[in-house]
Amino acid sequence: MVISGSIVALVTPMLDTGNIDFPALRRLVEWHIAAKTDAIVAVGTTGESATLTVDEHQAVIKAVVETADSRIPIIAGTGANSTTEAIELTEAAKRLGADAGLTVTPYYNKPSQEGLYLHHKAIADAVDLPNILYNVPGRTAVDMLPETTARLAEIPNIIGIKDATGQLSRGLDLLNSCGDKIAIFSGDDATAIEFLLMGGMGNVSVTANVAPQAMSHLCRLAMSASTEKQQAEVRRLNDLLMPLNNDLFVEANPIPVKWALSFMGLMGQGIRLPLTPLQEQFHQRIETALKWAGVDSIARSSS
């Protein structure tokens, strides 16, 4: 199994009551497959994993896996700040048929680099499921350094890392230190395309939720661009998505992207506390970014 290209960090649609909208979830999966999204992350940060119960977490993975029906890889968010819980979630993901797990660095308790290594090693040793590391220090308050990632890259079923630092220098460090052993994915839409031009394997994307076809096409072009002319075209197309890449973070993710999908008619406005609906002052800004990217009319005609 090779995972590369545009990997959507899928939202979890909800009704106004906060209950999960499974019909809308299945429609989104079908939409992404038709738009040539390369893989789906279920119940990651964008999927509101932090507010789902364990049963809901598993139910979403099950629905996404069953709907995709082996047409594209499904990566299940299985991270936790408890190593035991992360192992249990990874075991569940394997049982439910996910192709890989995505394990975020433990948040809140601020482990050392050795603690990070032993945490991820314990998960990999316990569950025979391909594992993608996830480093997002802006949310977890801990940064897994490249040398720690390089140690973990020696473990056979650790197959990649999603780096969401947004630092191209960090991406280059990872490519140089362990890019021959594991796949290095961007987790930051604003810098992802430049990272792919440097040799990255894909983009775990929030923007792909609303612009799946555009992001898929752009990732493919960036990963194959070998001339200055081709790279210039990639950057031109990336400029069309840049307002979305930035404006989908005017409030905490996934607040803006869930509003955008609702505006596009692809699902309702449901979101779960402590997150709240997008403030009205940002509505026009997101709408303008959608139109600039040329995805508003495409989405409406597909819904």
Q: What is the mean pLDDT of residues 201-222?
A: 97
Q: Of 62, 94, 117, 162, which is the active-site residue?
A: 162
Instruction: State percent of the chain over pLDDT 90.
Output: 95
Query: In the prediction, which pLDDT does 221 show?
Result: 96
Q: Of 62, 94, 117, 134, which is the active-site residue?
A: 134
The class of domain 5-228 in CATH terms is: alpha beta
Domain residue spans in the chain? Answer: 5-228
Note if 134 is an active site residue. yes
CA-nearest of 84, 18, 8, 9 to 277 is: 18
Distance between CA atoms of 254 and 115, rounded to whole angstroms? 29
pLDDT band at residue 2, thresholds of 50, 70 and 90?
A: confident
pLDDT band at residue 300, thresholds of 50, 70 and 90?
A: very low
Judge whether residue 297 has pLDDT over 60: no
Given a contact cutoff of 8 angstroms between Cβ atoms, the answer to whether 76 and 43 are in contact is yes
Note if 162 is an active site residue. yes
Q: What is the pTM of this model?
A: 0.95
Distance between CA atoms of 40 and 70, rounded to whole angstroms? 11
Q: How far is CA 145 from CA 14, 112, 166, 258, 276, in A?
A: 36, 10, 14, 32, 33
How do residues 231-283 score in pLDDT, each as one tens digit? 999 999 999 999 999 999 999 999 999 999 999 999 999 999 999 999 999 99
How do residues 71-102 score in pLDDT, each as one tens digit? 999 999 999 999 999 999 999 999 999 999 99
Distance between CA atoms of 204 and 10, rounded to whole angstroms? 10
